[in-house]
A and B are shown apart, each in its own frame.
Chain A
Amino acid sequence: MPHQSGDAERRRVVITGIGVVAPGGIGRKRFWDLLVSGRTATRRISHFDPTPFRSQIAAECDFDPAEHNLTPREIRRCDRMAQFAIVCAREALADSAIDLGRIDPARVGVCVGTAVGATVSLEQEYVVVSDSGAHWQVDQGYAVPHLYDYLVPSSVAAEVAWQVGAEGPAAVVSTGCTSGIDAVAHAVELIREGAVDVMVAGASDAPISPITVACFDAIKATSPRNDDPEHASRPFDRTRDGFVLGEGAAMFVLESAAHAERRGASRYAEIAGFGSRCNAYHMTGLRPDGREMAEAIRVALAEARVNPDEVDYVNAHGSGTRQNDRHETAAFKRSLGEHAYRVPVSSIKSMIGHSLGAIGSLEIAACALAIDNGVVPPTANLHESDPECDLDYVPLVAREKQLDAVLTVGSGFGGFQSAMVLVHPDRRGRR
C-alpha cells in the first residue's frame, strides 16, 4: 500500500492549463481582460437574421476556425462547438506545458460537457434534407456523412481525444445548463479514483441558431431588450427581463497534485469540492427557496473542507431571469448564512451571456483566473438591485481581493443544481 500522504496527493486535483473561446475575445487572456474591464459582449444576433424572433440578442464569439489552425477537414466535419472545444483543448495543453509524449495515453482521459451539442449543424442539415421544413419524409440523398456525429454529441469527446492522443476514458456529460460544472466534476472523479492521471476536460456549446432562439422565445426565458443589446444581460438588476443567449467553451488540463508536482507544473487552483442535487420540481421552474442548490453548495463545501464563512467569492449562476436570481440569492443565504451578505457575489453572464452547457466551465475558468490574479470580476449592467436580491453583487467594477476559496454554482432545465469549490493550490490546498 502506498503511504497516506502519497494517496492524498493523488486524490487532490489541480488545474494546470486553461483554454477559452468566449464572446469578446478568443483565448484566456482576452477572456480575463474582458471580465475585469466590466465590458459586455452582447449584441444584436449576426449569425442569422433575428428579425422574426422575440429576443434578437446574443453574446457571439468572433471565431474563424481557419485562424486557429483547424484543418479544412476538421472545419468540414466539426460543428462550431467541436471547433471551439478543439481550439480550447490546444490552448489548455500549451498553457499547462505538459509533454504528452512522456505520458502513457491510457492514463489520459477526456470529458466534455455540452447542453445542446451540435445543434447549429443539426438545424442547418435539417433545413437541407427537409427542403426548409416542406417534407416530413426528409431526403437522405442530401444528408452529410457527419450527420450522425451531430446527432450524438459524444463526437466532440472523440475530436478532443484525437487532438490530445488520449486513450483513457472519454465521454460527454450533458446535464443541460450545469454540464460545464458536471463535466469537470466527472473528470475530477476519474482522477481521484485512479483511473487516469490527467484529464482534458471542460465544456462547449454553440447554440445560437433559429431553433434555440425560438425555444427560449416560446417560454419567454430570454431578454427582449432588443433596442439595447449591450445592456440586455442584467443579472440581479431590478429591470432584468431574461437571460441573453451566449456561446463559447473552456477546457482545462486537470491533473492529480502528485502528477503536477512531479513535472513541476504551475497550478491555477485546486478543485476541492463538488455537489449536485435535483429539485425534482419542474423541468424549467424553480422553487423560490433555493433548497436544493443550497444542499449542493453544502455538499461541495463539506467535500472541500471549507467552512461557509471561509468562502471569499461566489461566482453566481446569475442568468438574469427573475426567478433564477431570487432562487439563488435564497440558496446563498440558506447555505452560507450571514456570510452571504459579506461575500462578493457576481455573474459573468452579465458580460458574456449564457452559453448553456459551456458556461459552467467558462465560470470555472473565471474562478481559477480570479484566484490566480486576486481579482473578483464584476456584475455588469447592475445599477439598481431587485429588492429581493440584497447581496453584494459587485456592481460594474472589478475588485482586488485575495481569494483562497471560491464557490461557483449552476442551475438548469431538468432541475439540476450544481456547486463547485475551487481553492488556492498553496494557501488552501494542502490540508
Chain B
Amino acid sequence: MTVPAVVTGIGVVRPTGLGTQQYWSATVAGINGIRRVTRFDPEPYTTKLAGEISGFDPARHLPSRLLPQTDRMTKLALVAAEWALADAGIDPATLPEYAAGVVTASASGGFEFGQRELEHLWSKGPEYVSADQSCAWFYARNPGQLSVRHGMRGPSGVLVADQAGGLDAIAQARRQIRKGISVMVTGGVDSALCPWGWVALLAPGHASREENPGRAYRPFARDADGWVPGEGGAILILESVEAFQRRGGARGYGVVAGYAASFDPPPGSDRPPTLRRAIESALREADVAPHEVDVVFADAAGVPEADRVEAEAIVDVFGPHGVPVTAPKTMTGRLFSGGAPLDVATALLAIRDGIIPPSINVDDAGAYPLDLVVGKARRRPVDVAVVIARGYRGFNSVMVLRGLSSGRRAPEMREGNWNGDSHH
C-alpha cells in the first residue's frame, strides 16, 4: 500500500493575490492581473505586458537581515511558505529532528539579483560583486533559505523541468512522505522580471506582442499569439495521512492521488507526442476513470502548436467536450516553476468550494472540441481535478488531486482500499 499524501497548507503569492483569500476571490471573479510592466521600462522590448505582483513589501514580512541577501523570488517564496505553514498549523521547529523537508521547483535563477551583480562585475570589477551572489542566484536558493528559516533538516531538493517542474517537485515531496518523512514543504515560486531575465524569457519568441491586457494571453483561441510572463507561485504543505491524523482536527485540502511525467520526441520526429500517455498514467495511478474527473487545469501555452497538442491529448482521454477545462493562468500570465503549484492550489480550492474558476479573455472557444470554462466561474461539485503542466522543449507532467472523503476532514486509512474510497 502507498501512503497517501495530504495537502494541508497553501501559501500563494500571485498577481492580484497575496494570500489565499485574496487570490481565490480574485481568481473566482476572473480579475485580470496582466498589465503593462512597471518594474522597468518595457518600451524597447517586443513584449510589454506581464503578470506583476504589486503591493508586496518584503520588509513587512521578513527579518531585515534577509532582505539584502535574497532575490525577489526568494523573498516571495519565504513569505508564501510562512503562510502555508500557518495555514497548516505547523511549526516545523516543534517537529522531531529530520521530520520536515523542502522540495521546490525552479526555472530561472535569482536573475534580478544576478543582473545587478553581473553589472557590478563588468562595469566596476570583481571586488564589487556581493558576497551573497553565490547563494542568491543559484537554482537551489529557495529550499536552502526555507530550510534555514524554519529549521527543516529532512531531505530536500530542487527539480527543474521548465514549467512542468512544479508538479515534479510536488511528486518528489510525495515520495519523501512515502518514505516516512512527516511534513514536506513544496511547490514553487519564480520571478525573473528584470530586463536581463525579460530578454531571456522572450528569446524563444513565444511571448505575446499584444499590448492590450484583455487580448494578450488567449490559450486555445484560433488566433492565440503567445503567452505573457508573470511572477509568483504557490507553496504547499504536504503531510502523510498518519501525521495529519495525529494532529487531529487539522484541515486538509485533498490528496495527491496520481502523477506521471513524460518527455516528447524531438521536433520533426514522426513519433507522437507523449502528453496523452502521461495523463493516462497519472489517472491509472490515482485509480480514477476519465469520466470521474471533474475538471482539467490546462497548461494552456497560448502557442497554437502547443495548444493543439494539448487539446488533442485532452480530447483523446476525456472525449470531445468531455470534461470542463480551465486556465486561470490567463489572469496571471505564465509563472514558470510557480505556475503548476499555483494550479494545484487552485484545483484544491475548487474541490473545497465546488467552484471551477474561469479562463479569461478566451473569446473564441470553438477552435478545439473542449468544454472551456470561459468568462465566469462554474459552480459544481468537484472531487477529482487533473493539472497538466508542460515545459519548453518537451516536458510533460500531470497530477491528479482528489478531495478528502468527508469534506475537509482526515480520510480514513484503509489498507488497500484507499484509492477506492470515493465519496461519489
Contacts and interface: CB of A to CB of B under 8 A. Distances in A.
Interface in B159-194: 159-162, 165, 168, 172, 175, 192
Nearest to A282: B148
A336 interface: no
Interface string A230-268: 000000000000000000000000000000000000000
Interface in A107-143: 109-110, 114-117, 123, 126-127, 129-130, 132-134, 136-140, 143
Contacts of A138: 115, 195-196, 199
B274 A414 contact: no
B139 to A, nearest CB: 4
Given A144-B203, A161-B394, A282-B148, A153 B139 contact: yes
A152 B147 contact: no
A133 B192 contact: no
Contacts of A213: 126
A95 interface: no
A277 B98 contact: yes
Interface residues of A, number: 86
Interface in B83-122: 97-98, 101-102, 106-109, 111, 115, 117-122
Given A145-B203, A416-B144, A151 B165 contact: no
A175 B130 contact: no
A158 interface: yes
A138 B124 CA distance: 17
Nearest to A123: B118
B395 interface: yes
Contacts of B158: 173-175
With most chain A CB atoms within 10 A of its CB, the pick from B98, B111, B131, B138 is B138
A378 to B, nearest CB: 30
B423 to A, nearest CB: 28
B143 interface: yes
Given A152-B107, A174-B140, A218 B130 contact: yes
Contact of B147 (A114, A137, A189, A415): A415
B347 interface: no
Contacts of A279: 153
A106 B125 contact: no
B265 interface: yes
B41 interface: yes
A115 B131 contact: no
A134 B133 CA distance: 19
B361 interface: no
Interface in A406-431: 412-416
Contacts of A117: 109, 139
Given A143-B203, A154-B393, A161 B263 contact: yes
Contacts of A394: none
Given A155-B393, A217-B129, A280 B115 contact: no
A169 B134 contact: no
With most chain A CB atoms within 10 A of its CB, the pick from B127, B153, B160, B192 is B160
Contacts of B424: none
B64 interface: no
A154 B126 contact: no
B360 to A, nearest CB: 26
A281 B160 contact: no
A374 interface: no
B204 interface: yes
A272 to B, nearest CB: 15
B393 A149 contact: yes
With most chain B CB atoms within 10 A of its CB, the pick from A106, A117, A174 is A174
Contact of B201 (A53, A151, A195, A215): A151
Nearest to A133: B122
Contacts of A216: 134
Interface in A180-238: 182, 186, 189, 193, 195, 210-211, 213-219, 221
Interface string A339-361: 00000000000000000000000
B249 to A, nearest CB: 28
B92 to A, nearest CB: 9
Contact of B157 (A139, A140, A182): A182
Contact of A172 (B123, B161, B192, B271): B161
Given A171-B160, A211-B129, A413-B134, 13 more contacts: A115-B140, A133-B122, A152-B160, A167-B262, A170-B395, A175-B143, A211-B133, A214-B121, A221-B134, A276-B156, A277-B155, A278-B102, A278-B154
